[in-house]
Every structure is written in C-alpha cells, then in structure tokens.
Homo-oligomer: A and B are copies of this chain.
Amino acid sequence: METKDAVGALSALAQESRLDIFRLLVRRGPLGLSPGELSEVMEIPPATMSFHLKELSRAGLVTSRREGRSIIYSADFEGMRTLIDFLLENCCSENGGTC
C-alpha cells in the first residue's frame, strides 16, 4: 500500500459519521445495508450519506452490490486489513516489537 492510499483510507475513517457508518457495516457483516437504511438508522440525510459512502468506497473500505432496487454496502475487510498491515509495517517499531 502506497502512502497516498494510506492517507486516503485514514482520511475516510477520520470523520465521526463515517467511522460510525463503517463500524455499523462491520457489525452487519456480509449482509450489508442500503444507503436508505443507513440514512434512517443514523439520522443522516440521504445526500450526506451518499457523500460519505462514496468517500469510504473511494478509500477501498466498502464494497457495494445492487440488490433489487436497492444498493447494498458492506465493509471491505480486505481493504481494512491492508490499512492495518500498512500501519503495523510503517508506524510501529520494527525490531523492538513495541507495537
């Protein structure tokens, strides 16, 4: 993972609403949730929710699939794993194992 991608992923999570959205999607698992459901549960207007989902999507932290007339977003665990690996490799002590 490149530094810029890491900044992208960190930025996506560095916002209270988006971190909450992402955590909810993580708890929900592969089942996922539609923007409409997320919008209602989190009390965030559709346009704002769409903006946040796009941000998470661009960061590679969520995936989406169409299902009937809805679109379902789910957490992308692989993307998250990539970010955590980046942090472990680049932001933690190498030899000491301090972190």
Q: Give residues in A with beta carbon < 8 Å to B.
A: 3-4, 6-7, 10-11, 13-16, 19-20, 22-23, 26-27, 29, 75, 77-78, 80-81, 83-84, 87-88, 90-94, 96, 98-99
Contacts and interface: CB of A to CB of B under 8 A. Distances in A.
Query: How many monomers of this protein are in the complex?
Result: 2
Given A77-B92, A80-B99, A87-B87, 18 more contacts: A7-B13, A7-B19, A10-B10, A10-B14, A13-B91, A23-B90, A26-B93, A29-B93, A29-B96, A80-B91, A80-B92, A81-B92, A81-B98, A81-B99, A83-B87, A84-B84, A84-B88, A84-B92
Contacts of A96: 29, 77
Q: A13, A75, A90: which has the most chain B beta carbons within 10 Å?
A: A13
